[in-house]
Chain A
């Protein structure tokens, strides 16, 4: 570190200043080509599903932390699904139990579960047909499955979700069978959902056809989506744009997208993770998101599917 001496500290008492925390890795299980990394973070505050943290190995050859969705948490043990796409994420994937790592989080807004569930009216509610607004569709691509284990676990805890007789359909797309093992943590959460009395179905797609016909998650969505569905989405930019195209053609569908962007600070300071919104303004993915209602990002405009930048 930088040689700071506790005896000389002035200003805010250290125990009450919230910042990055030197933490300890408690586990790293490989799930196909991804890593399920669990870190014990002293003083961790409970996260909302869809929030993220900045992670950095210690020591690290990288300068900045990497933004990763919070996949699960149990008290101060926090799990992340890490795709080794660059140097920073490869360092994280190579950590072992006992290794130190820096964690700053939870950060960002996350999904508003109450808002999502409240859109799913119980059957027989006046003005709605029995199947209207009672389905929640999860659409995830690749490492975009990361926020959904926590999302579905929290849903299982919601009385309102049970009262709404919510039916959950999780559509998960991967490039190949190795990456498709990223679905394993989601399936664990699905079991909890089912045990709590909610109906939940998981459908996988692999682009190379190693599991069933070669198809994308958007192919699944084309056949599964019904008018009135609530849709939560996380995946690469091109997938998100394609999901919006499908959803915007279907009546009465509400969408929330968790967006991805390169970040430096994760807390709104650097303005580096800006994304263009439908109204032409820019939003900071870290501070104003990462979760945005689909219409704020894409508006009425059906964007051409453009290749996104790979994160470092």
Chain B
């Protein structure tokens, strides 16, 4: 028997944007979604949205949902939050840039012990992520953050057993500066945190932009040997396959370097000696793939499956995880993952802005070390 609906969900939006997390998640909480072979009915008796006034005017999307599904409008944030049973914060866009003020308001103005989920980045810097975490602890409110790549399926489907003996990881994604890094971080962390001992914290970050990326691979600065297994999982190689449908050994034929436009590589050295590499390779493939080498030399690889638009059913998997968090107050992944994601995202940004190639974080205290469940 389904549990009785919870009382009230408050959603803090910057805007209702078609196809973006704001619409994908709000619709799933309003209407329901498919998960685990059945239709999950909405878990809340009522949903109240607080959004800027222009968001209500924009294209009628919020007004239509008020009419069709009884979505409540509340222009005063404190009133929207005062009797919330759960709060969902969805910033503008795809979640790269956090709306820290909205999250802070959610923590401060909702009742104590209210679960709060933030879509995308928890904060735009580690400092702010830690500040928000501290506020939530003070209010005894469970806080979690994440995005749809965190709950995406894998082709092939497998989970990395906890405490696996892993040596290093390579993730290949695409995207403009910021978005690509955000995707890469959120593909990477759920995989590597399962290694023996858990996440140990970051020691150094190296940045390789442009053709130098290929040069440093020859000297072993990142594991080029993992590129072939990762790209072998792609269903969307670019170049000749786009032109005439042929399959192609992109790595074996030396096509990766030719196809990649403005490649970016981030190599992350962890404190336990583990090494992670995020490659942002526009023009090579059009899906996200990874390969991980175990300490015994064997390699795991998969595509991170992103179901097609417009449904993008990864949002249903994320909604199910959020629903479970709201019901239990326990997130499916540690908040430290979100702190580390914010840390890496801001470190990548700073390194790029400064034009540097390496960032030494070995002195940072405390390191973001954690274990997942």
The yes or no verdict on A and B being binding partners is no
Residues of B within 8 A of A (CB): none
- Using a CB–CB cutoff of 8 Å, the interface residues on chain A facing chain B are none
